[in-house]
Amino acid sequence: MQGKSICVNLSRKDILHDVNFKAESGQVTAIIGPNGSGKSTLLKTLAGEIGTSGTVTLNGHDISALKPWQLAAMRGVLPQSTSVAFPFKVYEIVRLGLANGLAAIDDELTAKALAHVDLAGFEDRSYQTLSGGEQQRVQLARVLTQVWGTQHTDQPRWLLLDEPVASLDIAHQFAVLHIAGDFAAAGGGVVVVMHDLNLTALFADCVYVLSQGYVWGSGTPSEVLNIDLMQQVYGIDLPISKVPKSSIPFVLPQVMRKRLGA
């Protein structure tokens, strides 16, 4: 997946400025950056939901030339937040991702997706009675049924996830990021918006750092998670070390708090 010279203007405001972005299939590519830096806007543009003066190509196709069903067959999108106004059952939400309409296949995929997000047996629960984290995992199950349920092609499918672990406990954060990692390991592509720098360091192969609608850096977690760049984009000093016997960076905010108070 590639975005070239992506400029986005919304409500007469420039949100993204000449962003160049590349994500490889087989990898997890993370987008990080402060609130309002343009991460969700970039993800929506890559998903084909927002128009741009630049170009976005998905599996070599210019997405502006693809029909909605062609796009839906290539990529699934988990938005940052989803409001459901009607009293849908969980299985009805998950099945929104499916185009099959064959009850047996749909039931099997729905159950598999719910089991993947640790919600086996939740099919008949009312979506609105679920906790925030459970709702987020149901939405991920919907996206999984979409990418699993599309006809097999030799082209990679893509998961575009906007803060998929934002309201999850630590065990489910790991579980969901493992789903993303396994999807990439099986040849798919994953683009994921993240705030947690440590989880980003653990799970991402490549990281884009956005600030004020510009890309301020990209590369491996070790390359971009450095004190200077983090200071530039977040405006705070973050002590960054390496996990022992590895090159994986980790950030210790509590050390920073002590320093501030010292």
Ligand X SMILES: Nc1ncnc2c1ncn2[C@@H]1O[C@H](COP(=O)(O)OP(=O)(O)OP(=O)(O)O)[C@@H](O)[C@H]1O
Residues that bind ligand X (CB under 6 A): 10-11, 13, 15, 33, 35-41, 80
Tokens representing residue 150 in the block: 């599309």
41 binds, among ligand X, Mg ion, none (CB under 5 to 8 A by kind): ligand X
DSSP state of 64: G
110 binds, among Mg ion, ligand X, none (CB under 5 to 8 A by kind): none
Residue 83's alpha-carbon distances to 113, 168, 187, in angstroms, are: 20, 17, 31
151 binds, among ligand X, Mg ion, none (CB under 5 to 8 A by kind): none
Pairing of strands 206-211, 189-193: unpaired
The DSSP line for 224-257 is H--HHHHHHHHSS---EEE-TTS--EEE-HHHHH
Of 37 and 136, CB closest to ligand X:
37
13 binds, among ligand X, Mg ion, none (CB under 5 to 8 A by kind): ligand X
Distance in Å, CB of 5 to ligand X, minimum: 18
Distance in Å, CB of 165 to Mg ion, minimum: 13
- How many CA atoms, within 13 angstroms, populate the side-chain half-sphere of residue 145? 29
Of 113 and 225, CB closest to ligand X:
225
Distance in Å, CB of 244 to Mg ion, minimum: 33
Distance in Å, CB of 229 to Mg ion, minimum: 20
Choice from 15, 21, 28, 40 touching Mg ion (CB under 5 A): 40
All residues at 6 or more sequence positions from 45 whose CB lies less than 8 Å from its CB, including other chains: 3, 6, 8, 16, 51, 52, 56
Q: Among 14-22, 77-85, 150-158, 242-250, which window interacts with Mg ion (CB under 5 A)?
A: 77-85
Distance in Å, CB of 193 to ligand X, minimum: 7
Distance in Å, CB of 51 to ligand X, minimum: 12
CA 71 to the chain's CA centroid: 17
Q: Among 47-55, 73-81, 85-93, 94-102, which window interacts with Mg ion (CB under 5 A)?
A: 73-81
Contact 141, 109 (CB under 8 A): no
Of 9 and 155, CB closest to ligand X:
9
55 three-state secondary structure: strand
Spatial separation of the C-alpha atoms in residues 196 and 247, rounded to whole Å: 18
Choice from 2, 25, 59, 80 touching Mg ion (CB under 5 A): 80
97 three-state secondary structure: coil
All residues at 6 or more sequence positions from 260 whose CB lies less than 8 Å from its CB, including other chains: none
Spatial separation of the C-alpha atoms in residues 109 and 76, rounded to whole Å: 15
102 binds, among Mg ion, ligand X, none (CB under 5 to 8 A by kind): none
Distance in Å, CB of 163 to Mg ion, minimum: 6
Binding site for Mg ion (CB under 5 A): 39-40, 80
